[in-house]
Structure 1
């Protein structure tokens, strides 16, 4: 028996958490923000250079789009000329806000992951608890892979669209010239051969960097929120079994106290996570309606040549804000269900002090745990519905202005 225990692999909760966030880690390495500090001095320098290049690239990318929007407004302030520029600018601006959060809060995120490992459900687990854990990790993995694929496919459709248009024009016998990935301003003639190649490569790099940042940040948030939702569901199952098996009053009381302590740790963890992502969530909420509205306007009324790219952009924009609202909503309801689980326990078989402890837990569970946008609004599926409603309202306004022109 001792030999079997010695041969059994040691469970490492940190490794299991890291495995669930491996796509996030992959994206972060692409921009030089890897949390792995075990590399050499050369790898560290290369990592810092990659991060500097990534930040400078997206900052100039957004700046060049702002300048181009200003020039367009000065020369042709028509809706159909200005609106197609805003959704890519909004995506870039959101990327800058998110990379700032990732860099500024990197130590906080590392601490949160280490803290999560201390409350991670370790084997052996009973069948019901193991099923909840497995289903949560499987669903998270599927969601992350699809989100990664949609965003990556979207940016690469943008990257190859100018080449596709060029080949299409050649096929029709027209004068063909390879265009650019984004509509941006440069302080030189970007149509010169060497400059054209440089700009095209730079725009691919900048667009891809924005995607790494967006995907990485969203996968980190959704992954950590999903894990907290899973732990709250496991807490519910533990509470439902209180006093339903033969135990002494002291054992029941100690079990209730352990559940209260776990619940309080989860609440503190959610609060820390909310503070870390609050700025990012605010920018998300503010820009999402504008981004969705503008890209729908372009899809419906303009630019048939980039319809596939814009549809993928729309899909990624809807998934991006939808995923954040979905996982925030999971925590909101999972915490409320803790009170229901405590009431469904065998509390009526316990002593008055056990009942008082359970009542304390129920009262605390009835106070919502909510992620917010810097305290301005809670984030949940109701927020997602409001974003879609505002997007449609903005689109209707733009359509009216376009029809009048």
Structure 2
């Protein structure tokens, strides 16, 4: 996939430059026309410094061309700013006006060149953000230079005209990736910051599974945009498909129970319970989005800053513990769901196609009512995909919420432990004012952690209640199936299901006990 992306970027740059060749030719002619023509002009423009900065910045083809053109644009903007800033006004109004008119024309010419530059390179930049750290704001220095000019002694008409030159660059010129973004160092900083948010190290596994079902669990920034159309489509596709499968399984359960097929009814009921837990956890997190946002911002504010605080909080210890448990739990549930999803397909491929031991036929991973004959026609494949998709959705809904609880509870425990250690190691100074200030800070910090715990209980309370209720039934149903005599491979599936359900209950109880111990 990385090779395909590399080829796609290279091809897109080649094609866009070929497509924009007439505009590129005009831009080169314009650059040639305003290029320094002799040694004296090269010194005035400080050409050598811009040539040196251009050489190491580019890499290949289009990037080198952009590097060369953008460097010359920066050179002209800087030269104009120096000329305006260093110009000494004379007493002749007409001479001053000619200078100002020439500066405005020169500025307009560079701005027009920038428009051509953005027209040519806009789409390639949008497709490839490789050059985001190179070109920064071009025109910002011009208004400063005009303001610093010795205009105090100038004619009032000149000062009025100079306002135009000061105001015009206030709308800063940028290299643009079409209309979507300006390319600056700040843009690169923002992108890196989004990737390296420290608190997200605790949340990375939970966010991965939430993204798979089309949910953004929280937003730390109030100014962040709403969920994209793509995210909403993924979410509703997951919910609708899972609901349809649940309805089909419910109809099958009623039919099996009425016909006295108790084992099949119990089997389907365990699947329905699995769906209920996954769906309830997804929906409650979606419903409590506002509370989740507040909790995430509170955790971000309380997160230890810098190496010294990280050592005091023993951050790495808690982060490693959370990551280890999250990874193991994710692996266990992924193994569970894909064992169930692919079991029927693997039976067909191994027993019938490979070993030729018995005829298995095309079967679906889960028992579900389907009002037509699907075994011997093309509808088998959409049904197989739908059930696999639903199984993964239910599993991801459970995994994501459990991992989010794991990450949040770990941080709550970390703050409680840090507070305990701080109070235990603190030595009283004997100064009432200083000691009372320490006590007040401690109480405020404790109150803040308690408030965070209340928010966690508000968000996860009902899903945890449903989790315990349904998981208890699922454990009983799976245990019952294992005692009635089933094939060895089916025993493996049921044991994995039982072990995963018990692990889920244990994980929740484990973190509940950790919080209780930390508080006490």
User: Which category describes the TM-score, using the shorter chain as reference length?
Assistant: 0.7 to 0.9
Instruction: Classify 1:162/1:127 alpha carbon distance in 2 versus 1 (closer, same or farther; 3 Å).
Output: closer
**2:480 matches 1:315:** no
* Counterpart residue number, 2:423: 239
CA–CA distance in structure 2, aligned partners of residues 140 and 209 of structure 1:
23
Does structure 1 conserve the Cα–Cα contact (< 8 Å) formed by 2:253 and 2:264? no
Q: Describe the shift of the 1:23–1:77 C-alpha distance in structure 2 as closer, same or farther (beyond 3 A).
A: same
Match of 2:461 among 262, 275, 278: 278
Structure 1 CA distance for aligned equivalents of residues 380 and 194 of structure 2: 51
**From 159, 162, 185, the counterpart of 2:341:** 159
1:221 matched to 2:405? The reply is yes
- In the other structure, the counterpart of 1:188 is 372
Matched, 1:107 2:107: no
TM-score, length-normalised on structure 2? 0.58
Is this contact kept in 1: 2:341–2:388, CA < 8 A? yes
Cα offset for 1:323? 1.0
- Corresponding residue for residue 72 of structure 1: 256
Q: Which residue of structure 1 aligns with residue 268 of structure 2? A: 85
Bigger relative contact order, structure 1 or 2 (CA pairs below 8 A, ≥6 apart): 1
Measured after TM superposition, the shift of residue 83 of structure 1 is: 2.0
- Structure 1 distance, partners of 2:407, 2:310, is 23
Tell me which of 10, 18, 23 is aligned to 2:205.
23
Query: Over residues 322-354 of structure 1, what are the superposed CA-to-partner deviations in whole Å (9 max), with x where a residue is unaligned?
Result: 111111111111111xxxxxxxxxxxxxxxxxx
- Which residue is 1:269 aligned to? 452
**Cα distance in structure 1, aligned partners of 2:224 and 2:197:** 18
Q: Measured at CA, do residues 74 and 11 of structure 1 come closer, stay the same or move farther in structure 2, by a change above 3 Å?
A: closer
Is the 8 Å Cα contact of residues 151 and 312 (structure 1) preserved in structure 2?
A: no
- Following TM superposition, the consecutive aligned residue runs of length 4 or more in structure 1 with deviations greater than 4 angstroms are 10-14, 35-41
* Offset at residue 24 of structure 1 (A): 0.9
Contact 1:95 1:210 in 2 (8 A): yes
Q: Which runs of 5+ in 1 are unaligned?
A: 1-9, 337-405
Aligned residue runs from structure 1 range 43-82, under 5 A: 44-78=228-262, 80-82=263-265
TM-score scaled to structure 1, two decimals? 0.74
Partner of 1:122: 305
- C-alpha distance in 2, partners of 1:69/1:203? 16
Larger radius of gyration: 2
Kept after mapping to 1: 8 A contact 2:412/2:515: yes
- Using the TM superposition, give the Cα deviation of residue 12 of structure 1 relative to its aligned residue in structure 2, in angstroms: 9.9
Offset, 1:279: 1.3
Matched residues in 2 for 1:11 and 1:255: separation?
33
Matched, 1:287 2:500: no
1:168 Cα deviation from its structure 2 partner: 4.5
Q: Which residue pairs with 2:481 in the alignment? A: 298
Q: What SS is found at the alignment partner of 2:379?
A: helix
Q: CA deviation at 1:175?
A: 2.6
Q: d(CA) in 2 for partners of 1:115 and 1:26?
A: 21
RMSD value over aligned CA atoms? 2.6
Structure 1 residue 205, shift from structure 2 partner: 0.5
Aligned to 1:148: 330
Inter-partner Cα distance in structure 1 for 2:196 and 2:445: 18
In the alignment, the residues of structure 2 paired with residue 89 and residue 190 of structure 1 have an alpha-carbon distance, to the nearest angstrom, of 22
Distance 1:138 1:11 in 2: 22
**1:114-145: CA deviation from partner (whole Å, max 9, x where unpaired):** 01111222235378624x32211110000000
In the TM superposition, residue 84 of structure 1 has moved relative to its aligned partner by 2.0
Is 1:96 paired with 2:96?
A: no
Report the Cα distance in structure 1 between the residues aligned to 2:236 and 2:508, rounded to whole angstroms. Answer: 28
Q: CA deviation at 1:85?
A: 2.0
The answer (yes or no) to whether the contact 2:214–2:232 under 8 Å persists in 1 is yes
> Aligned in 2, Cα 1:174/1:62: closer, same or farther, shift over 3 Å?
same
Query: CA 1:196–1:13 in 2, change beyond 3 Å: closer, same or farther?
Result: closer
Are the aligned partners of 2:362 and 2:375 in contact in 1 as well (CA < 8 Å)?
no
Aligned residues: 323
For 2:342 and 2:485, locate their aligned partners in 1 and report how far apart those are by CA, in whole Å: 19
Q: Cα–Cα, structure 1 residues 194 and 301, in superposed 2: closer, same or farther, change >3 Å?
A: same
Task: Give the superposition deviation at 1:48.
Answer: 0.8
Q: Distance in 2 between matches of 1:154 and 1:12?
A: 32
Q: Deviations over 1:261-288 (max 9, x none)?
A: 1111111111111011111011011111
> Structure 2: how far apart are the matches of 1:49 and 1:12?
24
Q: Aligned equivalents of 2:209 and 2:512: distance in 1? A: 22
